Structure 1
Amino acid sequence: MNDARRTREVIRQTDPTLPDGSLNLSGNLPPIVANIFEQRYRVALSKVMTEEQLSALFGSHRFMGTERDRRAGSVFVSRRLGSPPDVNRVVVTNGTQSAIDRLFDSIAGRGGVIAVEELTYPAIKPIAARLGIRVCPVRIDDDGVVPDSFSDVCKRDRPRAFYTLPTLHNPTTATTTLDRRKAIIDTARLNNVQFIEDDIYSILPLDAPPPFAALAPEISWYILGTAKSLSPGMKVAYVVAPDGAAAGHAFWPGVKSTYWMPAPLNAAVTANLILSGHANEIVDSVRLEMEHRHELAQVILDGIPVTTRAGALNLWIRMPRAGTPHLEIARLTQNRNVIVGTGDAFVVGDRLPPEALRIGLGTVLTRDQLSRGLQVVRDAYRSVLKPSLSA
């Protein structure tokens, strides 16, 4: 399959509504490091297919994960938690979204309240709405979650949990500082609030602060998925519960009503990748490719106020003047078959949508395609904002 055809297929899988031939910079996916991923995944798949008893592998559901699955999860999350947690605290799930669904239902339930950042993962709102849960926005700035705002929400709305993306927040790329994390933990303990910590973007940066779950494990539900560091389609995420009993209490009731259990083959191959060390090689390759893409973006978008951080899969471009110039820029890029994201889908509560663009660096297949897409973004930005730039 040639590059152009592979690119069209990647775009189609990301969003089947996009026009054929478009360059999709609206997603927030890691780049496909085809050679290393295919080599390592084929080895892992071959090992599972030749060494596992297939009738046993496929013969039943993989509730909570086998002990080997959970051991792999413990190894994977130890990259962030500092040491491997007890495997009894680990639950293997069918991706981050299904883990969030289960935890929202278990911790808050119908009529409950969960605090979230004022801009949050777009799937959160429909999940909460379906479960009858009210979400309350917590303010964020360039240093992440604002502790005073979290405290105000706790006092006013009495949330059961705080769903948070504290490291390389989506879409702003902000990372909550260590001092703020400690202050937020103090408030959470005082108000009996648990953390549902989505740490999916934390593997690529090398200097991220420790997770809430490392600082306050007794009130934390920690989620680390593979989709943003290994490959989007792997759909395996590991949850670390405060303790083993809590893990069973939260997830076991959902076996008859949700889809959180991973497919046995997928869980087994992912475990093999992690325990063999090959997952580390894939992560290192993704990290290196993202470094190259950040350098490319820095050159092409020179002079445009871009917010991002090392390891981030996206750029966040705030508009230098009020109005809706970001929507005009998005329209102009779409006219040239380059799709970019805006902040509208991330908004929680009644705040106005941010006047900003989210530019994904990993979704397109090659650096050449990224370069062409970023040039279109640059030209559209300069076209719309030229008067203010020259003033």
Structure 2
Amino acid sequence: MNDARRTHAVIRQTDPTLPDGSLNLSGNLPPIVADAFEERYRRALSKVMREEQLSSLVGSHRFTGTEKDRRAGSVFVSLRLGSPPDVKRVVVTNGTQSAIDRLFDCIVGRDGVIAVEELTYPAIKPIAARLGMRLCPVRIDGDGIIPDSFSDVCQRERPSAFYTLPTLHNPTTATTTLDRRRAIVDIARLHNVRFIEDDIYSSLPLDAPPPFATLAPEISWYILGTAKSLSPGLKVAYVVAPDRLAAARVFWPGVKSTYWMPAPLNAEATANLVLSGDARAIIGAVRLEMGYRHELAREILDGIPVTTRPGALNLWIRIPKPGARLEIARLTQNRNVIVGTGDAFVVGDCLPPEALRIGLGTVLTRHQLSQGLEVLRDAYRSVFKQSMSSRSSI
């Protein structure tokens, strides 16, 4: 299959509503690193085919994961936690979103109150709405979560938990500093607030601060998914509970909520990738490819106010003109390049940020990324050239 056909297939799978032939810079997926992934994933699948009795493998539910699943999860999260947690604290789930849904329901409870960053993962809002929860926004800046804002929310709103994405925050790419994390832990303990920590982007940077789960394990539910570092289609995320009893209480036997369980073949193949060490090699290849893509972005978007960090899958571009984000998005779409805005991430009644989120990994090749970024650059310059012309004529 040639590059164009392969790229088209990736685009359609990412978002079937996109126009044919468009380049999608609105997504936030890791790049496909076929040279690193193909052989290793085939090896992981072959091990399943060779060593497992398939009828037994797929013939039962996988509540909380097998011992092997939990061992693999312990190894995988140790990349961030520093050491492998007790396997009985680990649960294997059907991706991060399913884990979040389960934790919201059981940790916060229906009609409860939960703190979130003022810009948050868009899936959080429909999950909270379905459960009747109220979301309370916590302000963030370039150094991540602002402790004073979190303290204010805790005192005023009394949330049960804080859902947070503190490392390479989506969409801003901000990473909360270690000093702020320590301050936030003190506030959470004071107000009896538990962390639901989504650390999904944290495997790619080499210098990320330690998670809340290492600073306050007794009040932390830690989630590390594979979608942003290995491959989104694996649909496996590992949850680390505060203790083994909490893990069993929340996830066994699902409390009549069963979709959070992973498909056995996915879980088994992912465990093989992790336990063989191949997952580390794939993460390294993704990290390397993102380095090349960041360099392309720096060259092409020179002069445009871009915020990002090493390992981030996206750029965050603040637009210094009201309404310009929508005009730029319209101009790029006219040339079959789709970019994202900050609108979908807003919590509550706040005005959407005048910003664009630009995904670097969703398109298949660096050449296509260059094409898309050049269209974005031209649209940005066009909008601001028009603005300068209008001011000059006044």
Give the AA of the match of 1:216: A
Superposed, 1:300-339 pairs within 5 Å as: 300-321=300-321, 323-339=322-338
Give, in angstroms, the shift of residue 385 of structure 1.
1.1
Counterpart Cα distance in 2 of 1:258 and 1:152:
36
Give, in angstroms, the shift of residue 56 of structure 1.
1.6
Counterpart Cα distance in 2 of 1:6 and 1:324:
35
- 2:364 is aligned with 1:365: yes
Structure-2 residue corresponding to 1:32: 32
Classify 1:299/1:389 alpha carbon distance in 2 versus 1 (closer, same or farther; 3 Å): farther
Superposed, 1:238-257 pairs within 5 Å as: 238-252=238-252, 254=254, 256-257=256-257
Give, in angstroms, the shift of residue 388 of structure 1.
5.4
Give the AA of the match of 1:191: H
Structure-1 residue corresponding to 2:185: 185
Give the AA of the match of 1:9: A
Structure-2 residue corresponding to 1:147: 147
Alignment deviations for residues 141-176 of structure 1 (CA, whole Å, 9 cap, x no partner)? 010000000000000110000000000000000000
Counterpart Cα distance in 2 of 1:253 and 1:382:
56
- 2:62 is aligned with 1:62: yes
Counterpart Cα distance in 1 of 2:386 and 2:77:
49
Give the AA of the match of 2:212: F
Identity %, equivalent residues:
83
Counterpart Cα distance in 2 of 1:293 and 1:257:
40
Structure 2 residues not aligned, in runs of 5+: none
Counterpart Cα distance in 2 of 1:78 and 1:357:
33
Structure-2 residue corresponding to 1:74: 74
Give the AA of the match of 1:131: L
Structure-2 residue corresponding to 1:98: 98
Counterpart Cα distance in 2 of 1:190 and 1:256:
33
Give the AA of the match of 1:331: R
Counterpart Cα distance in 2 of 1:53 and 1:333:
51
Counterpart Cα distance in 2 of 1:4 and 1:256:
45
Give, in angstroms, the shift of residue 317 of structure 1.
0.3
- 2:377 is aligned with 1:378: yes
Counterpart Cα distance in 2 of 1:170 and 1:329:
21
Give, in angstroms, the shift of residue 252 of structure 1.
2.0
Alignment deviations for residues 205-241 of structure 1 (CA, whole Å, 9 cap, x no partner)? 0000000001100000000000000011111000000
Secondary structure in 2 matching 1:256: coil
Secondary structure in 2 matching 1:254: coil
- What TM-score do you get using the length of structure 1 for normalisation? 0.98
Structure-2 residue corresponding to 1:20: 20
Verify the 8 A CA contact 2:199 2:222 in the aligned structure 1.
yes
Give, in angstroms, the shift of residue 253 of structure 1.
5.1
Counterpart Cα distance in 1 of 2:346 and 2:36:
37
Give, in angstroms, the shift of residue 24 of structure 1.
0.2
Counterpart Cα distance in 2 of 1:254 and 1:335:
47
Verify the 8 A CA contact 2:63 2:251 in the aligned structure 1.
no
Counterpart Cα distance in 1 of 2:294 and 2:145:
25
Alignment deviations for residues 323-353 of structure 1 (CA, whole Å, 9 cap, x no partner)? 1001000000000000000000000011110
Give the AA of the match of 1:363: T
Give, in angstroms, the shift of residue 382 of structure 1.
0.2
- 2:176 is aligned with 1:176: yes
Secondary structure in 1 matching 2:101: helix
Structure-2 residue corresponding to 1:269: 269
Counterpart Cα distance in 1 of 2:34 and 2:335:
27
Counterpart Cα distance in 1 of 2:153 and 2:388:
39
Counterpart Cα distance in 2 of 1:195 and 1:255:
21
Alignment coverage as a number of residue pairs? 390
- Coordinate RMSD, CA, aligned: 1.0
Counterpart Cα distance in 2 of 1:116 and 1:241:
19
Counterpart Cα distance in 2 of 1:294 and 1:113:
38
Classify 1:389/1:246 alpha carbon distance in 2 versus 1 (closer, same or farther; 3 Å): farther
Give, in angstroms, the shift of residue 258 of structure 1.
3.9
- Which structure 1 residue ranges, 4+ long, deviate > 6 Å from structure 2? none
Give the AA of the match of 2:347: V
Counterpart Cα distance in 2 of 1:258 and 1:149:
36
Counterpart Cα distance in 1 of 2:72 and 2:352:
40
Give the AA of the match of 1:263: A
Structure-2 residue corresponding to 1:43: 43
- 2:100 is aligned with 1:86: no
Give the AA of the match of 2:348: G
Alignment deviations for residues 159-214 of structure 1 (CA, whole Å, 9 cap, x no partner)? 00000000000000000000000000000000000000000000000000000001
Give the AA of the match of 1:52: E
Structure 1 residues not aligned, in runs of 5+: none
Counterpart Cα distance in 2 of 1:145 and 1:120:
12
Give, in angstroms, the shift of residue 49 of structure 1.
0.6
Counterpart Cα distance in 2 of 1:156 and 1:92:
35
Give, in angstroms, the shift of residue 254 of structure 1.
2.8
Classify 1:361/1:389 alpha carbon distance in 2 versus 1 (closer, same or farther; 3 Å): farther
Structure-1 residue corresponding to 2:206: 206
Counterpart Cα distance in 1 of 2:255 and 2:311:
35
Counterpart Cα distance in 2 of 1:177 and 1:388:
37
Verify the 8 A CA contact 2:63 2:254 in the aligned structure 1.
no
- What TM-score do you get using the length of structure 2 for normalisation? 0.98
- 2:344 is aligned with 1:352: no
